[in-house]
Amino acid sequence: MSESKAKLDGAVIAEEDDGIRLDRWFKRHREGTPHALLARWARSGQLTLDGRKADVSDRIATGQKLVMPTPPVETAARPARKGRPLTDADIELATGMLIHRDASAIVLNKLPGLATQGGTKTEQHVDGLLDALKYEAPVRPKLVHRLDKDTSGALLIARTPRAAAYFAKSFSNRSAKKTYWAIIVGVPDIQQGEIDLPLAKQPGSGGEKMHVHDSGLASKTRYRVIERAGNSAAWVELQPLTGRTHQLRVHMAAIGHPIVGDGKYGGKGAFLTGTISRKMHLHSRRLRIDHPDGGAIDISAEVPEHFAASLDALGFDLLLGEVGIDPAEKGPPPKSALKAQAKAHSKQIRKARRGERRGRTADSKPTDFVGKAKPKAKPGKPGKPAPGKPTGRKPSVRKHPARLPKAS
């Protein structure tokens, strides 16, 4: 055995790694291997999948055979960093939010005030609780999208790397459908419509705040007023057609109707008097997304306690919220269907033209009046034959060569 072969290592891609990038596989199974070293192996052809040269960005599939050089000693895998040990209270919190679980996905009804991911001075968050939701799965669950800290409702989590890649693609291509409920200050003049305002990071906010700006990214939100409480407040359904940071909050504030409790974008005017809670009234009510194993997930999350109390205090009827949620939108027709439609349309045009050609024969009506009665000829002037009537004389070929009758 040659020295070069002796230094090679190999692995077979397991099912839980199906669909992930090759560099991600190394982070999981060869954690100490630097990315620069991986790139050098790929450029030199020392990294192969099923005998073919591989790139670090390639997506891998179950059963593929990966061959790579054995990493040097100094790049041997380091032990994974351990998070804060979960307490009984943490486990109870995580499992208490669970509203759906299958082999590939988990859906939580996230509580308001709980961050999705960690950050400065944020010790408790959904990502830090995911070890409590591993159950019998071989790998730790993974977040595939996020909700703002103060936004409650349906939050999807993938249980396998394959599912994570599938769900991430669904969110990026906008095939996943999200429906939110919100209570807003005031009532829009138009009961149902679409807000189309570009959004950009607001200067001086450190990227923590967004605003409407012509140079921003295209952002669209569909809204519908479910019910109104006089002129003081309204309960609305919101559907983000794009996924910009704080999109729903900025759009509603921009049209003069901030979400109740959203002081960040609505200022003092975002709070109602009386018994209405000062917490954010924005809730991810329903999530619809295709499932990697077939079918779809279509699940609704109950509103949190403060939101339900506000609905009740304002006299809103919960049943009205379900009426306007539209059915899942169908995707664009397949190319085969579009081709069939075009073919049928062309056939109709050809048939119509054949009818026109038949209409040009000597015994047919003029083509300008196909399918219509021929208009009556106007009477001619006294002493002159009426237009269209024969005069009894044959046309002169020499004088009127262009008036020769067409051969039938």
Catalytic residues: 148
CA 220 from chain center: how many Å?
12
d(CA 149, CA 113): 5
Token pair of 257, please?
């109707």
CA 319 from chain center: how many Å?
27
Angle ∠(14,20,24) on CA atoms, nearest 5: 95
Q: What does the DSSP 8-state code read for residue 87? A: P
Cα distances from 113 to residues 130, 251, 270, in angstroms, run 17, 22, 18
CA 41 from chain center: how many Å?
37
Q: What does the DSSP 8-state code read for residue 361? A: S
d(CA 22, CA 53): 12
Token pair of 144, please?
């595939």
d(CA 350, CA 365): 19
26 phi and psi angles, rounded to 5 deg: -65, -35
d(CA 362, CA 329): 54
d(CA 274, CA 267): 18
